[in-house]
Amino acid sequence: NYEVNNYDRMNRTFGSSTRDKAMILETLVIMNEKEKATPLVIELSKAMSSNSWYSTQSTAYALIALTRYAGENSLSGNEMFFNYTLSGKDKKEKRTQLPLFREDIEIADAKPGSVQISNRGDAVLYARIMLEGTPLAGAESAESSKLKIGVTYKTLAGKKLDPTRIAQGTDFLAEVKVTNPGIYGYYSNMALAQIFPSGWEIINTRLAGFSTVHEESSPQYRDIRDDRVYTHFGISGNYTNTYVVMLNAAYRGKFYLPAVSCEAMYDNSIYAREAGMWVEVVKPGEEDEYPK
């Protein structure tokens, strides 16, 4: 009996029923128990091919086990041999003895298209099309699940500031409040991502030798880069953490401020996102003069 009760751990062991089944599969492959391993191979293959989300731990171990199984059961001389065309153009021929083949296809425009594949070999082929991209600026929306965030921009004196139009040379603060509603207990391994527009510069207070003066929660780890800050932390139920980044409106122009997002690294059902917006850095004295 190789059944495993469904569970997921977002901390400590980072275990899951999927990862445990992958460990069982790897063990069966090592023991040369092919017949016992086959049902687990089918189950894990379906799981990895679905649209369901899996943590890096579960995904990695499932791929390790499936790769080991594929290596032990591959047939010498059996290769993938096929042609493919993109919307009837640019026919390409591919041949490989590897168990997996991936081809990146650049799409020049958003027009509807299709991919045609012709199997010219003896091996059975399983094809998938995966699309990746970045949302258009302004197309994101605010969303949340089991978590709440609020983003406020303030002057160094603590007064609210309109981020859409700021005078060049102004130092100001980006304050993010993250709230755990308390329904599901303590959240560990949380990641807050703040990416700032190119007209704003991050003032790294650790290098400058001073603090933001404003109270904030202590992160477990904070990664400050040229244009973004990643903050990692844990948060108890019915509690709000506050994180502050000091900024300077350095360069005049119109820029896009990407969405601010926070999520549990090992549970995709816990997340919150504030939509992005266009912002301007203007000459001092023009910040209150909105264009008609």
Do residues 203 and 230 lie in contact, with contact meaning Cβ atoms separated by under 8 Å? no
Do residues 255 and 166 lie in contact, with contact meaning Cβ atoms separated by under 8 Å? no
Q: Does 60 lie in the same domain as 167?
A: no
- Tokens 């293959």 appear where? 45
Tell me, yes or no, whether 175 lies in a domain: yes
Tell me, yes or no, whether 131 lies in a domain: no
Spatial distance between the Cα atoms of 11 and 235, rounded to a whole number of angstroms: 13
Domains in the chain, number: 2
Q: Does 68 lie in the same domain as 156?
A: no
At which of 54, 72, 90 does a domain end? Answer: 72
Q: Does 150 lie in the same domain as 277?
A: yes
Q: Does 157 lie in the same domain as 66?
A: no
Spatial distance between the Cα atoms of 67 and 123, rounded to a whole number of angstroms: 17
Tell me, yes or no, whether 229 lies in a domain: yes
Looking up residue 221, the CATH number of its domain turns out to be 2.60.40.690
Q: Does 277 lie in the same domain as 149?
A: yes
Tell me, yes or no, whether 94 lies in a domain: no
Q: Does 32 lie in the same domain as 153?
A: no
* pLDDT per 10-residue tile (average), the chain, 292 residues: 85 91 96 91 91 91 92 68 85 84 77 86 79 75 96 95 97 97 94 98 83 80 96 97 97 97 94 96 85 54
Spatial distance between the Cα atoms of 161 and 166, rounded to a whole number of angstroms: 8
Angle of the 56-72 helix axis to the 34-49 helix axis, nearest 10: 140
At which of 72, 89, 119 does a domain end? Answer: 72
Tell me, yes or no, whether 129 lies in a domain: no
Count of C-beta atoms within a 10 Å radius of residue 36: 15
- The parent domain of residue 266 ranges over 143-282
Name the phi and psi angles at 213, rounded to 5: 75, -25
Tell me, yes or no, whether 254 lies in a domain: yes
Spatial distance between the Cα atoms of 108 and 137, rounded to a whole number of angstroms: 18
Do residues 268 and 260 lie in contact, with contact meaning Cβ atoms separated by under 8 Å? no
Tell me, yes or no, whether 2 lies in a domain: no
At which of 37, 53, 72 does a domain end? Answer: 72
Spatial distance between the Cα atoms of 235 and 228, rounded to a whole number of angstroms: 22
Tell me, yes or no, whether 182 lies in a domain: yes
Q: What is the pLDDT of residue 2?
A: 77
Q: Does 165 lie in the same domain as 52?
A: no
Q: What is the pLDDT of residue 138?
A: 74
DSSP 8-state code for residue 16? B
> How remote is the C-alpha of 259 from its chain's centroid?
13
Q: Does 150 lie in the same domain as 276?
A: yes
